[in-house]
Amino acid sequence: MNLDELFNDSYERVAHLGEDNNLFFDRFYEKFTGASPEIADKFKNTDMKRQKHMLRSSILYIMQLFDTHEIHDYMETIAVKHNRKHLNIRPELYDVWLECLIHTVRELDLHFDDRVEMAWRVVFSPGIAYMKFKYDK
């Protein structure tokens, strides 16, 4: 099985958990906002229902970037919104973001193993690299 399939299968297993299909996203944001006071502060006035919806969309665009190697306008918009001049999401925070994501997948995906973890890391790498790249642009 290739990385695309491993990732897609894992994402399908976790993305629809819970009564309202939000268990994965709820657990992720609990971990992420609990990771540091700086991160918690970034989300203090955030509509978390909307934020979870945006994360779902972002994951689809990150998958598309991995598959096509093309930057969609949505990714450009998100990257600019998160850069130094706007939300000021420092590049190091994307590493924390990914680790929280991986920890959430590990917790909720009953088929989680090293191959699944690698698939998540590889699929998200281009998107994270792009976000970091755009920080000072």
Per-residue pLDDT tens digits for 78-115: 999 999 999 999 999 999 999 999 999 999 999 999 99
Work out the percent of the chain whose per-residue pLDDT is above 90: 97
Average pLDDT over residues 31-48: 96
**Distance linking the first and last C-alpha atoms of the chain:** 38
Model confidence at 19, pLDDT cuts 50, 70, 90, reads: confident
- Are the CB atoms for 85 and 136 separated by under 8 Å? no
Average pLDDT over residues 48-76: 94
- Are the CB atoms for 25 and 100 separated by under 8 Å? no
Model confidence at 47, pLDDT cuts 50, 70, 90, reads: very high
> What domains are defined for the chain?
3-136 (1.10.490.10)
Average pLDDT over residues 57-65: 93
Query: Which distant-in-sequence residues (6+ apart) come within 8 Å of 130 by Cβ?
Result: 65, 71, 75, 79
Model confidence at 117, pLDDT cuts 50, 70, 90, reads: very high
Determine the residue type at 15. A
pLDDT value of residue 62: 94
CB atoms within 10 A of CB 36: 12
Is the confidence at residue 137, as pLDDT, over 90?
no
Higher pLDDT, 131 or 137: 131
Q: What is the mean pLDDT of the chain?
A: 96
pLDDT value of residue 1: 82
- Burial class of residue 68, CB neighbours in 10 A (0-12, 13-18, 19+): exposed
Is the confidence at residue 51, as pLDDT, over 90?
yes
